[in-house]
C-alpha cells in the first residue's frame, strides 16, 4: 500500500493510475473477487455490476470523507458498513427497477457489494484521512479499476465462451464451453493476473509473490 | 388426507381407495402443479388397502408431490420428511452448489487464509459455527419481524448489522470465557465480516422463502462446504508453494488456476442425486 501522508493529497492522475493498474482491486489486490468471477460470463452482466460498484465506491468514499469530523474512530468500521449498506440498498432498488432482466441474473451479487473488502478498505485507508475531493478521485479511480477489470474479464470470457461481445456475434467458431463454466472464471482471472505480472516484469519491477490476503 | 410415500425411482405407495384406471390419477410436483406426470399403472400393493402408482418420470424422495383423483376430493400430499430435507439441503449446498467453487462466494477470504493448513482449519471451523448462528438469527429476524412488517427493503442493512453484531459479540464472549481459544480463533472472527457467504446465506434464504429446516440446512451446508473447500485448497497450495512455477504465475495467478481445477472437479458433484 502506498504511504499517503495525512494532509497532502496525491494528484488526480496518480490516483486514477493507481486504481486502474498499480493497485487494481481485482488483479492486484485480489479484493472483491466473488463477483469478478461470478458474473463475468457476459460483458453486459460485468458492466452492470462494475457500474454498481463504481457508484457505491464513489458515494461511500465521499460520504466517509464528509462525515470525518463526526465519525468516532472506535466504532468507525460498523459506521462504514452502515454507510455502504445504505448506498447499496439505493443501488439495488435502482437497478431492480430499471434493468429487471439483468438484475434477475446478478441481483444477489449486487446485494453482496456490502461485503466487498475493496470499498471499506478505501474508506479506511484513504477517505478517512483526506478531504472530499481527493476522496472522490480515489473512489473514482478504484471504482473505475474494478469496472475495467469486469469489462476485460467479461469480454474475454464472452468472446471465447460464446464468440460474441455484448451479445453481438463476432466470430463464428465452436465456443469453448470451459470458459463459461464456473472453472473458466478462475482460469481467466489467473491468466489476466499473470499478464499484469508479465507487464511488471517488462517494466523491470520485481513480481511480488508474498500475497497476504485481504486485511478487512 | 391419506398416507403416501415415494417407494423407488418411479413408484409411489398409496394407502386408501384408488381406482385401477391410471387415467384418473393426477400426479404433479408441488412446485409446478401445471405439469402432469404420466401415470402408467395402478396396481394393488403387498398389504390390503394399499396401491402402487407407477409413473414414467423419475421420482425424487426429496421432492414434494401432490396426487388427486379425477371426480373426487381426495388428495395425497407426498412430502419428504424434515430429515430428508435437511440431509439433501446440507449435501446440496456443501457439495453440489459449493459456495466457493460453483457460486464463487467468499473468494477473498478463501485466497487469503489458504496458504497454510493450520489457518485453513481454524477459519473453516470458526466460519461454520458463526455462519450457522448468524444464519439462524437472520432467518428468525426475517421470518418474524421483516416479512410480517414488509420491511424487505431493509434486508441488506439488517442482515449485515446482525452479522457484525454477532461477530463482535462472539469475540467479546470468547475473550472472557476462554482466552486460549480466543487467541487461536479470534483473528479469524474479524475476517468473517468480509466473507460474502455469511451475507449470501440469509439473502438466499429470504429470496427462497425457506422454512426453518431449509434455512438451517443451507447455513450448515455452506459452512461445511466452505471449510471443506478451504482445507482441500490449502493442502494443494502448500505443495504449489514448493513447486518451480514460472515467475509471472507465482503467487496468486497459479492459485487461481489451481482453484479452477478444483472447480472442474466439483462439477462432478452436479450429477449427484440420491435419497
Alpha carbon distance A42, A45 (integer Å):
6
User: Does B103 score more than 90 pLDDT?
Assistant: no
Q: For position A68, what pLDDT does the model report?
A: 84
Vertex B144 angle, CA B142 and B146, to 5°: 45
Q: How many domains is chain B partitioned into structurally?
A: 2
Residue B161 resides in a domain: yes
**Of residues B164 and B48, more confidently modeled:** B164
Condensed to tens digits (0 to 9), the pLDDT of residues B113-129 reads 888 888 888 888 888 98
| Distances, alpha carbon B249 to alpha carbons A150, B101, B107, in Å | 21, 21, 19
- Determine the residue of chain B that is closest to A205 in CA distance: B248
Q: Are B259 and B123 in a shared domain? A: yes
Q: Are B47 and B154 in a shared domain? A: no
CA–chain centroid gap for A181, Å, is 22
Q: For position A12, what pLDDT does the model report?
A: 76
Q: Would you say B266 and B102 are in contact if contact means Cβ atoms under 8 Å apart?
A: yes
| Distances, alpha carbon A28 to alpha carbons A32, B43, B102, B256, in Å | 11, 66, 23, 13
Q: For position A213, what pLDDT does the model report?
A: 42
Cross-chain residue pair A214–B203, CB shorter than 8 Å: no
Q: For position B133, what pLDDT does the model report?
A: 92
Which residues of chain B neighbour A207 with C-beta distances below 8 Å? Answer: 247-248, 250-251
Q: For position A108, what pLDDT does the model report?
A: 81
Which of B78, B96, B114 lies at the terminal end of a domain, its last residue? B78
pLDDT over 70, % of chain B: 96
Q: Would you say B107 and A34 are in contact if contact means Cβ atoms under 8 Å apart?
A: yes
Residue B159 resides in a domain: yes
Condensed to tens digits (0 to 9), the pLDDT of residues B128-148 reads 988 999 999 999 999 898 888
User: Does A4 score more than 50 pLDDT?
Assistant: no
The minimum CA-CA distance between B74 and chain A, rounded to whole Å, is: 38
Q: DSSP letters along chain B, please?
A: ---EEEEETTEEEEES---S-GGGEEEEESS-TTSEEPEEEEEE-SSTTEEEEEESSPP-TTS-EEEEETT---EEEE---HHHHHHHHHHIIIIIT-TTTTS--SHHHHHHS-SSHHHHHHHHHHHHHHHHHHHHHHHHHIIIIITTTT-GGGHHHHHHHHHHHHHHHHHHHHHHH-HHHHHHHHHHHHHHTT-HHHHHHHHHHHHHT--HHHHHHHHHHHHHHHHHHHHHHHHHHHHHHHS---GGGTTHHHHHHHHHHHHHHHHGGGG----
Residue B275 resides in a domain: no
> Could you tell me which of B134, B109, B138, B139 has the C-alpha nearest to residue B124?
B109
What CATH number is associated with residue B36?
Answer: 2.60.40.1130
Q: Are B123 and B203 in a shared domain? A: yes
Which of B78, B104, B132 lies at the terminal end of a domain, its last residue? B78
Condensed to tens digits (0 to 9), the pLDDT of residues A79-88 reads 888 888 899 9
Q: Are B118 and B247 in a shared domain? A: yes
Residue B176 resides in a domain: yes
Residue B165 resides in a domain: yes
Q: Are B17 and B146 in a shared domain? A: no
Q: Is the ipTM of this complex over 0.85?
A: no
Q: For position B166, what pLDDT does the model report?
A: 87
Cross-chain residue pair B164–A37, CB shorter than 8 Å: no
Q: Can you say whether the dihedral through the CA atoms of B264, B268, B269, B270 is positive or negative?
A: positive
**Length of chain B in terms of residues written:** 275
User: Does B171 score more than 50 pLDDT?
Assistant: yes
Q: Which three cell numbers stand for residue B137?
A: 438469527
Q: Are B174 and B210 in a shared domain? A: yes
Q: Which three cell numbers stand for residue B132?
A: 450457522
Q: Please give the residue range of the domain that contains residue B187.
A: 82-269
In this complex, which of A82, A85, A213 lies closest to B111 when CB atoms are compared? A213
In this complex, which of A34, A89, A207 lies closest to B196 when CB atoms are compared? A34
Q: For position B227, what pLDDT does the model report?
A: 92
**pLDDT band with cut points at 50, 70 and 90 for residue B274:** low
Which of B43, B78, B113 lies at the terminal end of a domain, its last residue? B78
**pLDDT band with cut points at 50, 70 and 90 for residue A8:** low
Q: Are B33 and B129 in a shared domain? A: no
Q: Which three cell numbers stand for residue A10?
A: 496525491
Q: Are B59 and B167 in a shared domain? A: no
Q: Where are the domains of chain A?
A: 12-215
Cross-chain residue pair B263–A183, CB shorter than 8 Å: yes
Whether the CB of A197 is below 8 Å from some CB of chain B: the reply is yes
**Of residues B81 and B226, more confidently modeled:** B226
Cross-chain residue pair B157–A93, CB shorter than 8 Å: no
Condensed to tens digits (0 to 9), the pLDDT of residues A16-40 reads 777 777 777 777 777 767 777 777 7
Q: Are B42 and B88 in a shared domain? A: no
**Of residues B73 and B248, more confidently modeled:** B248
| Distances, alpha carbon A188 to alpha carbons A105, A161, B136, in Å | 20, 11, 36
Residue B167 resides in a domain: yes
Q: For position B140, what pLDDT does the model report?
A: 92
Q: Are B117 and B60 in a shared domain? A: no
Cross-chain residue pair B156–A111, CB shorter than 8 Å: yes
Residue B274 resides in a domain: no
Amino acid at each position: 500500500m502506498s504511504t499517503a501522508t495525512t494532509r497532502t493529497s496525491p494528484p488526480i492522475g496518480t490516483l486514477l493510475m493507481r486504481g486502474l493498474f498499480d493497485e487494481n482491486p481485482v488483479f492486484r489486490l485480489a479484493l472483491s473477487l466473488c463477483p469478478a468471477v461470478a458474473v463475468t460470463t457476459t460483458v453486459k452482466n460485468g458492466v452492470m455490476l462494475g457500474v454498481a460498484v463504481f457508484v457505491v465506491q464513489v458515494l461511500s468514499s465521499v460520504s466517509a470523507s464528509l462525515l470525518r469530523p463526526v465519525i468516532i474512530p472506535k466504532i468507525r468500521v460498523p459506521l462504514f458498513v452502515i454507510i455502504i449498506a445504505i448506498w447499496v440498498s439505493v443501488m439495488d432498488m435502482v437497478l431492480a427497477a430499471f434493468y429487471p432482466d439483468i438484475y434477475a441474473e446478478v441481483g444477489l451479487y449486487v446485494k453482496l457489494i456490502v461485503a466487498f473488502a475493496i470499498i471499506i478498505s478505501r474508506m479506511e485507508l484513504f477517505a478517512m484521512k483526506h478531504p472530499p475531493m481527493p476522496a472522490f478521485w480515489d473512489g473514482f479511480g478504484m471504482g473505475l479499476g474494478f469496472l475495467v477489470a469486469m469489462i476485460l474479464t467479461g469480454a474475454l470470457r464472452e468472446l471465447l465462451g460464446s464468440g460474441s461481445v455484448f451479445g453481438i456475434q463476432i466470430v463464428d467458431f465452436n465456443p469453448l464451453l470451459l470458459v463459461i463454466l464456473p472453472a473458466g472464471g478462475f482460469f481467466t482471472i489467473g491468466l489476466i493476473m499473470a499478464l499484469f505480472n508479465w507487464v511488471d516484469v517488462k517494466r523491470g519491477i520485481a513480481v511480488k509473490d508474498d500475497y497476504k490476503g485481504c486485511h478487512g | 388426507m391419506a398416507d403416501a410415500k415415494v417407494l423407488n425411482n418411479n413408484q409411489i405407495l398409496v394407502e386408501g381407495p384408488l381406482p385401477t384406471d391410471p387415467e384418473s390419477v393426477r400426479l404433479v410436483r408441488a412446485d409446478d402443479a401445471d405439469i402432469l406426470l404420466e401415470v402408467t399403472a395402478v396396481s394393488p400393493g403387498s398389504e390390503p388397502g394399499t396401491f402402487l402408482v407407477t409413473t414414467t418420470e423419475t421420482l425424487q424422495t426429496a421432492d414434494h408431490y401432490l396426487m388427486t383423483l379425477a371426480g373426487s376430493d381426495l388428495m395425497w400430499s407426498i412430502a419428504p420428511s424434515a430429515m430428508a430435507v435437511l440431509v439433501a439441503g446440507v449435501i446440496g449446498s456443501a457439495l453440489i452448489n459449493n459456495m466457493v467453487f460453483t457460486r464463487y462466494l467468499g473468494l477473498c477470504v478463501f485466497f487469503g487464509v489458504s496458504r497454510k493448513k493450520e489457518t485453513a482449519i481454524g477459519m473453516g471451523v470458526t466460519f461454520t459455527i458463526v455462519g450457522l448462528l448468524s444464519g439462524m438469527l437472520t432467518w428468525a429476524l426475517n421470518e418474524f419481524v421483516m416479512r410480517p412488517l414488509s420491511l424487505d427493503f431493509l434486508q441488506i442493512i439488517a442482515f449485515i448489522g446482525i452479522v457484525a453484531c454477532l461477530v463482535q459479540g462472539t469475540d467479546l464472549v470468547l475473550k472472557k470465557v476462554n482466552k486460549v481459544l480466543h487467541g487461536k480463533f479470534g483473528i479469524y472472527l474479524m475476517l468473517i465480516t468480509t466473507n460474502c457467504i455469511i451475507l449470501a446465506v440469509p439473502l438466499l434464504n429470504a429470496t427462497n422463502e425457506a422454512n426453518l429446516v431449509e434455512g438451517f440446512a443451507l447455513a450448515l451446508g455452506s459452512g461445511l462446504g466452505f471449510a471443506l473447500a478451504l482445507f482441500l485448497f490449502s493442502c494443494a497450495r502448500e505443495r504449489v508453494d514448493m513447486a518451480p512455477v514460472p515467475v509471472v504465475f507465482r503467487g496468486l495467478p497459479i492459485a487461481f488456476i489451481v482453484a479452477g481445477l478444483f472447480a472442474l472437479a466439483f462439477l462432478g458433484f452436479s450429477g449427484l442425486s440420491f435419497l
